[in-house]
Amino acid sequence: MNARQAYLNGAWIADDGLAIPVGDPGFALGVTVTERLRTFNGAVWRQAEHVRRLRRSAEIVGIPVEVADELDHAITEYRSRHEPLREAGDDVAIVAFATPGVGGEPTRCVHGFPLAFGGWAHQFADGVSVYLSDHRQTPDSCWPAELKCRSRMHYFLADQQARRCEPGARAILLDQDGFVGEASTANVVLYNEGEGIVSPIIAKVLPGVSVAVLRELANARGVPFIERDLTIDELRAADEVWLASTSICLLPVVRCDGRPIGSGVPGAGYQRMLLAWNEAAGRDIAEQARRRAGIATPAG
């Protein structure tokens, strides 16, 4: 995609000219509320849900909630401005963020880029390896779990630790009580054939848009979706473990701390739910990623 534009504080500018002052609290202090969306077949996926969460994040931080409405309109316009530039079969990430700004005027921005399918295309078939991190989720005494913000040093350090154990691995962070919390950029759920999908208590983690989609898909197919505290031992003993987030949608975890989860390959429960996601999105999600990354479709 060439000639991309970005929305910044009421104006559309060239994407490569996008910048904020170093004194902006979003840069200086990490005080940024943000959402990352994606398109399917050029249409923005779950925009209303993302904007609703952005509005709540703005409210928590003290940024005027009307900013979320402004960014909602900018997301829609970003899509319309860039749809003619989208290559056939491709889709894009759209990022919206706001900060308190400098001088009392919030910084508001929407920008985007083609999805980097090569970073995860192989994981639909091969799965993801995770390591339990020594770094933990921030407690509610720092900021509420429902706040989606750019203050992510704990995620960064956790993923660094995981990748020292195994290149390409992802970290899973526990909460302050030692229960399974989140991955750095994804919600974590487990699946047991006799029980259904089990999630950490949503009120204790970021209320992910994609894990909400997973709940909808499960409910429509009669698959139980349960919330409860999850122990490390339950995670390791699960039939299957999945990661859910906007860009990847749903990925299977096949190893934890170097030991296999279940059979050590993506399971039947995962395949059923990914198929359901394909139907909802109108796109074969794994095939799109493989094709755009130049990876051959697995035999069978």
Task: Write out the DSSP string of the chain.
Answer: --S-EEEETTEEEEGGG----TTSHHHHT---EEEEEEEETTEESSHHHHHHHHHHHHHHHT--THHHHHHHHHHHHHHHHHGGGPPTT--EEEEEEEEEEETTEEEEEEEEEE--GGGTTTHHHH-EEEEEEEEEPPPTTTS-TT--BS--HHHHHHHHHHHHHSTT-EEEEE-TTSSEEEETTEEEEEEETTTEEEE--GGGS---HHHHHHHHHHHHTT--EEE----HHHHHH-SEEEEEETTTEEEEEEEETTEESTTSS--HHHHHHHHHHHHHHTS-HHHHHHHHHT-PPPP-
What pLDDT does residue 19 have? 96
What pLDDT does residue 300 have? 60
- Collect the ranges in the chain with pLDDT lower than 50: 1
Q: What is the pLDDT of residues 63-81, one digit of tens each?
A: 999 999 999 999 999 999 9
What pLDDT does residue 146 have? 97
Domains with residue ranges and CATH for the chain = 5-115 (3.30.470.10), 123-293 (3.20.10.10)
Q: What is the pLDDT of residues 281-295, one digit of tens each?
A: 999 999 999 999 999
Instruction: Answer whether 210's CB lies under 8 Å from 204's CB.
Output: no
> How many CB atoms within 10 Å of residue 218?
21
